[in-house]
């Protein structure tokens, strides 16, 4: 960083030089303030987000050609991941890096009304916004209480899981923030991670301990909840109840398009080699606010884990993968029956994903320092 006022050490600071220096500082301060309001983050971060109007490393990933080799089919016969058997991707679709300059991108959610994606940059304590119409990247909220997972409710309001806040919040349409959940049985939650909203307005969220394990992605603290639970917040009374209590570390959460299934990821492998690295499915009764019939939907190849999950309108399950084998970094797509269809290879660990675009056919992928996107031939479920 260049100092706006450079004075030799041996120079005598007379009144005139001080006045000139003060004027230079004032001018620079105005410029810095204006730049900060536009694109630049506060000091101590990784730098200003790179927007789509700037040169590489944005754009299609290096080495790509149609059909993009980053899209891998799991099998040759039907059902396969690509044409002609299963048209998840057409031959002219490419994986692109659309924004970069983050420390740890997580929790994307798409707002169709504004045509933008909000996602968390956890260590930088901010929520970012990517506008898909012109590729502009800006800070939506800072501080964000080390936000992680985000979703949208049926009224178009942002629902956020906060690590350092140890709570789930709702951003009202006027910008004010309402606390949805921060305690259970009189004790603080651990560190809410991800959430989903059912059609009755209930909020379901996971509560592992990742956000209180240190100071990088939250505030170090002792867990007050003995178990790492999955909770449901009643839409009318606001009461919070435990719906599943046998996870090692519950993480990503999603609904099937018909709301008959609830998917929850267990990243317990981070706590020990014998713990699960998997996604589980449950039969969901929305009206009763209950789940049953727990099954392992898919196991991940250790040492990799899956973190985020979304579904498309045909019930396929899309999972983010990373943290272990670099060859597994990316996205996995499964049939509703749990059969692997294919992978999207990303050059970074992938933490989460969501569908967006005007046709909900653009998959946005949070890959550590960058936001990636790829068009698909399927549409994301309306259960974000």
CB proximity list for 88: less than 8 A, separation 6 or greater: 81, 82, 316, 333, 341, 342, 376, 377, 378
Residue in this structure with the two tokens 């959610």, named with its chain if needed: 109
Set 307, 312, 314, 325: catalytic member? 307
Residue 290 bridge partners (DSSP): 285
Is the distance from CB of 229 to CB of 157 less than 8 angstroms?
no
By C-alpha distance, which of 209, 184, 148, 172 is closest to 351? 148
Q: Do the annotations mark residue 106 as ligand-binding?
A: yes
Is the distance from CB of 118 to CB of 127 less than 8 angstroms?
yes
Tokens read off for 198: 């059912």
Residue 269 bridge partners (DSSP): none
Is the distance from CB of 263 to CB of 311 less than 8 angstroms?
yes
**Distance, CA of 71 to CA of 155 (rounded, Å):** 35
**C-alpha dist (Å) from residue 155 to 111, 127, 215, 359, 379:** 11, 20, 34, 20, 21
Note if 285 is an active site residue: no
CB proximity list for 140: less than 8 A, separation 6 or greater: 118, 126, 127, 128, 129
Residue 363 bridge partners (DSSP): 355, 374
- Phi and psi at residue 133, to the nearest 5°: -70, -35
CB proximity list for 259: less than 8 A, separation 6 or greater: 198, 199, 284, 286, 383
Q: Do the annotations mark residue 245 as ligand-binding?
A: no
Q: Do the annotations mark residue 251 as ligand-binding?
A: yes
**Distance, CA of 56 to CA of 359 (rounded, Å):** 27
**Distance, CA of 324 to CA of 183 (rounded, Å):** 33
Q: Do the annotations mark residue 307 as ligand-binding?
A: yes
Binding-site residues from annotation: 106, 193, 251, 307
Binding-site residues from annotation for substrate: 193
Q: Catalytic residue positions?
A: 307
Binding-site residues from annotation for a divalent metal cation: 106, 251, 307
């Amino acid at each position: 960083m260049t100092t706006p006022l450079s004075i030799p050490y041996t120079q005598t600071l007379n009144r005139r030089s001080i006045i000139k220096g003060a004027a230079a500082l004032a001018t620079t301060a105005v410029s810095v303030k204006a730049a900060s309001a536009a694109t630049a983050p506060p000091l101590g971060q990784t730098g200003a987000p790179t927007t789509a109007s700037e040169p590489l490393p944005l754009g299609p990933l290096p080495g790509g050609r149609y059909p993009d080799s980053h899209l891998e089919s799991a099998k040759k016969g039907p059902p396969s991941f690509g044409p002609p058997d299963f048209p998840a991707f057409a031959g002219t679709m490419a994986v692109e890096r659309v924004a970069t300059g983050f420390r740890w991108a997580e929790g994307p959610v798409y707002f169709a009304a504004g045509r933008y994606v909000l996602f968390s940059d956890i260590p930088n304590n901010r929520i970012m916004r990517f506008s898909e119409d012109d590729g502009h990247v800006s800070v939506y909220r800072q501080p964000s209480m080390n936000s992680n997972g985000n979703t949208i409710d049926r009224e178009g309001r942002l629902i956020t899981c906060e690590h350092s806040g140890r709570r789930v919040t709702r951003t009202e349409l006027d910008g004010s923030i309402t606390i949805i959940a921060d305690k259970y049985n009189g004790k603080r939650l651990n560190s809410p991670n991800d959430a989903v909203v059912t059609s009755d307005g209930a909020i379901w969220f996971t509560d592992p301990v990742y956000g209180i394990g240190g100071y990088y992605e939250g505030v170090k603290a002792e867990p007050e909840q003995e178990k790492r639970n999955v909770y449901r917040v009643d839409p009318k009374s606001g009461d919070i109840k435990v719906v599943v209590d046998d996870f090692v570390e519950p993480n990503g959460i999603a609904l099937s398009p018909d709301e008959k299934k609830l998917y929850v990821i267990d990243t317990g492998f981070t706590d020990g080699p014998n713990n699960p690295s998997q996604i589980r499915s449950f039969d969901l009764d929305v009206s009763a606010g209950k789940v049953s019939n727990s099954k392992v939907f898919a196991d991940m190849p250790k040492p990799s884990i899956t973190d985020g999950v979304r579904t498309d309108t045909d019930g396929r399950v899309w999972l983010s993968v990373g943290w272990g084998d670099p060859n597994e970094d990316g996205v996995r797509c499964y049939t509703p029956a749990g059969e692997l269809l294919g992978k999207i290879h990303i050059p970074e660990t992938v933490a989460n994903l969501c569908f967006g675009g005007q046709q909900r056919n653009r998959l946005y992928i949070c890959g550590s320092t960058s936001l990636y996107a790829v068009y698909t031939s399927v549409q994301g479920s309306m259960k974000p």
